[in-house]
Structure 1
Amino acid sequence: MRSHGFGSIDKQRHPGAGQPQDAEARREARKAAGRKPPVNIAELPVEPAKKLRMRHGSEKHERQALELREKRVEARHIGELRIQKALALSGVGSRRDCDEWVSAGRVSINGEIVQPGARVAPGDRVLFDGKPILIKWPDRLPRIVLYHKQEGELVSRDDPAGRTTVFERLPKVQSSAWIAVGRLDFNTSGLLIFTTSGDLANRLMHPRFEVQREYAVRILGQLSDEQKKELVTGIELEDGTARFEVLEDQGGEGMNHWYRVILKEGRNREVRRMFEHYELTVSRLMRVRFGMLTLPSRLKRGQYYELDEPEVLAVLKWAGLSLTGRVPTR
C-alpha cells in the first residue's frame, strides 16, 4: 500500500513520471502534445510608418496650400502619356496588369489596336475590350514623401525572403505608385525620397543632372591627409572613377571617426566602396540630404513626412518641372 501511495504522490508531483526519460524523447513528446509551431516572421503584418505632422502657422502658406490643392491643369497642357500609365491612372488596373492587357491586344486608340509604349493624347478615344475608357489625366501636383529609413529595411517592392521593405510601410496611393528616388542598401539608414512623378524621380537620380547626395559616415580608423586628397581628386573603383565633391572631418572618439561627404552620383554601395578602397570599414552610414531636400531633424527612424503643396511646388520649380511634375512641353 505504501509503495502504491508513494507512486501516486510521485506522479502528482512529477507529471512526466512514467514518460520517456531520454531528453530527445521528452522533446518529441512535448511536440506531440500540441506545442505551437515557431512563428514565421514573413507572415507577421508590417507596421505602417507613422506620419510626422508639422505646423506651418502662416495664413499665407495655408491659403497657398489650399489653392494648389484645388488647382487643376487643362488636359491640353498635359501632353501625351504612355497608354499603360494612362489606363493605370484611370483606375483600370495596376501598371503591370495594364501592360499585359495592352500586349494581349485588348486596348485600342482611335480604332487601332496598340502595343505597349503607344502614347495617348487628350481627345483620343480609348477602348478596353470594346468599352470606352474615360482617361483621368494627371492634372494636379504630384506627391512627395520623405522617409527616414532604418537599417534592416529593403528598398524593394518584393523580397523572396520575406524581409520588410520600405514600400510596405508607406501610405497607399490611389491610381498610382510610389517611385523611390535612389536606393539605400540594407545596412544604410537616412533620407529616402518617394514621389508619384516619374519625371521628378529621373531629374533627381540621373547622373547628367549631378544632384548632390550628402552622407554622414562613421568608420573604424581614420583617413590620412593623402587619402583625403585622393578621395576628392578621384580614385579608381571596379566600375570607374569615383570622387567626393566634399570630404570634411567631423571628429570622433576611440577607433570611431565621423566624416561628412558629398557626391553627385549614386552607384551601388559607392560610399562604402570608396572607404574600403583603403581597407577602412564603414560602421555607420546615413544619408542626410538629397538635392534641396534635407532629412528633417524631427523625423525619427521609421517615420515619414509628406510635403505639403507649396513645398512640392518649390521642389518642382527647383527641378525645372511643370505643376504636374512633368518636363514642360515646348
Structure 2
Amino acid sequence: MTDEKLQKVLARSGLGSRREMERWIMEGRVFVNDEKASLGDRIKLSDQVRVDNKLIDIEKQKEQGPRVILYNKPVGEVCSRKDPEGRPTVFEKLPKLSGGRWVSVGRLDINTSGLLLFTNDGELANRLMHPSTGVDREYAVRVHGEVTDDILEKLKKGVLLEDGMAKFSDVQHFDGSGRNQWFHVVLMEGRNREVRRLWESQELEVSRLKRVRYGCIFMPKSVSAGQWVELSQKELNDLTDLAGLPRQKIKSKTPKQLASDKRVQRRAKPIAGKQVGRRGSRGPSS
C-alpha cells in the first residue's frame, strides 16, 4: 500500500473530519509507532497508530472498505451513542463493525422520525454535513393551523430566528385542507429543530415530522421504522460524487458479517411509526 496522510487515514476510520484530525495531531493526541505524530506525517498499514492512547486498527478498517447504511429512525430514539436518561439510541440497532465505528450523517431530534445515514467513513460523513457542500434535506410535515399563501411566501423568503435567518428552499402542499395539512419542505442546512421553529414562528404547530430524503438518497418503502438497509454501489457513488470525494468500491462481506447483519435485523423492533412512501415519493410519511 502507498503511504497515506495520517489525518486522511484517521478521518476514514470514522473519528472525525480531516480538519479535526489535523487539530488532534497538533494537540499531541496522536502517536505513530510510540512517537508523537506531526502534521504531514504519512503512514502505512503496518504502522501502529494510537489516539488518546487507544489503538486504531487501520488495517482492519481498510480491509472492510466503505459502508453506508440508511436507517429509518422511529420517534422516541435519540441520536447519541449513550443517553444518560436511559432512552434508546439509534446506534443500538446498527450492525457491528469489525473496525472503525459508525458515524451519523446529521441528527434528528427525539420527536422526529425518518431517514438517517450512517457510514464508517468519517471524511464522507463530514463532507455530507458541511454547509459548503450544499446538500439539501427534505421533510414531510403535518401542520395544525391555518396555512396561508402569505405564510408560505414568508417561509421561503426567510424568517429571523433566535440563531439567525432561516428559510425553506422549497415548500409544497401535499395533502389535507383546513387546519390539518401535509407539506413537504426542503432545507439546505441542519440547524437544531429548524423545521419546527420555522413553522412555530408563524404560530403554527407541527404535529408530525419525518425526513424523507438526504441529498440524492430517498427513503425506500421496504425499510420500516427501526430497520436499516445498506446502500448499493451506485448509491454510494452518487453520495461520494455529491460530497466531491473519489469513488470507492464496496468490499464483499464475509459470511460472518452477513450472519451478524441478519441477526441485528431480526432483533430490531420499531418503537413507533409505519412504513413510508415509495422511493422518490412525495407522499406524507408516518
1:138 positional shift? 2.6
What code does the residue aligned with 1:264 have? M
Alignment-derived partner of residue 44 in structure 2: 122
Distance change >3 Å, CA 279–CA 324, structure 1 → 2: same
For the 8 Å contact 1:288–1:295, the answer to whether it is kept is yes
Q: Which residue of 2 aligns with 1:221?
A: 145
Q: Deviations over 1:172-199 (max 9, x none)?
A: 1111111100000000001000011112
- Give 1:135 shift: 5.2
| 8 Å CA contact retained: 2:45, 2:58 | no
Q: CA deviation at 1:278?
A: 1.2
Question: 1:127, 1:318 → 2: CA distance?
Answer: 30
Q: Which residue of 1 aligns with 2:184?
A: 260
Aligned partner letter, 2:240: L
Match of 1:146 in 2: 70
Distance in 2 (CA, whole Å) between partners of 1:252 and 1:282 is 14
Partner of 2:233: 309
The structural deviation recorded for 1:298 is: 1.7
Q: How many residues are matched?
A: 232
Does the Cα contact within 8 Å between 2:237 and 2:248 map onto a contact in 1?
no
- Measure, in 1, the Cα distance between the counterparts of 2:199 and 2:238: 35
Q: Does 1:113 align with 2:38?
A: no
Q: Give yes or no for the alignment of 1:285 onto 2:209.
A: yes
After TM superposition, give the deviation of residue 217 of structure 1 in Å: 0.6
Does the C-alpha gap of structure 1 residues 103 and 168 become closer, same or farther in structure 2, counting only changes over 3 Å?
farther
Matched, 1:202 2:101: no
Give the letter aligned to residue 160 of structure 1.
Answer: P
Gaps of 5+ in 2: 15-23, 51-55, 250-286
Cα 1:194–1:252 shift into 2, 3 Å: same
C-alpha separation in 2, matches of 1:290 and 1:189: 13
- Return the alpha-carbon distance in structure 1 between the equivalents of residues 205 and 245 of structure 2: 40
> Which deviations, in whole Å up to 9, do the C-alpha atoms of 1:186-239 show, x marking residues without a partner?
000010000111121122111111111000110111321111111101110010
- Structure 2 counterpart SS, 1:138: helix
CA contact (8 A) 2:79 2:90 kept: yes
Quick one: which of 90, 108, 116 aligns to 1:192?
A: 116
* Aligned-partner residue type, residue 281 of structure 1: E
Q: Which structure would you say has the larger Rg?
A: 1
Structure 1 runs not aligned, ≥5 long: 1-74, 90-98, 326-330
In structure 2, what is the Cα distance between the partners aligned to 1:283 and 1:134? 45
Deviation of residue 308 (structure 1)? 2.8
1:286, CA displacement in angstroms? 0.5
- The one of 53, 77, 80 equivalent to 2:5 is 80
Q: TM-score, normalised by structure 1?
A: 0.62
Mapped to 2, the partners of 1:199 and 1:161 lie a distance apart of: 30
Aligned equivalent of 2:193: 269
Q: Is the 8 A contact 1:141 1:312 kept in 2?
A: no
Residue in 2 aligned with 1:246? 170
Q: Among the aligned pairs, what percent are the same residue?
A: 43
Name the TM-score, length of structure 2 as normaliser: 0.71
Distance 1:83 1:255 in 2: 51
- Distance change in 2, residues 1:103/1:170 (3 Å): same
Give yes or no for contact 2:9–2:58 (8 Å, CA) kept in 1: no
> Aligned equivalents of 2:49 and 2:151: distance in 1?
62
For 2:257, the equivalent position in structure 1 comes to none
Matched residues in 1 for 2:49 and 2:135: separation?
Answer: 41
The residue matched to 2:171 in structure 1 has which SS? Answer: strand
Could you tell me whether the CA contact under 8 Å between 2:72 and 2:223 is conserved in 1? Answer: yes
Q: 1:83 to 1:269 in 2, by over 3 A?
A: closer
**Match of 2:267?**
none
Does the CA contact (< 8 Å) of 1:140 and 1:323 recur in 2?
no
For residues 134 and 263 of structure 1, what CA distance do their matches in structure 2 show? 37
- Whether contact under 8 Å (1:138, 1:324) holds in the other structure is no
What is the DSSP-based 3-state SS (H/G/I as helix, E as strand, rest coil) of the residue aligned with 2:123? helix
| Structure 1, 251-260 or 274-283: larger mean CA deviation | 251-260
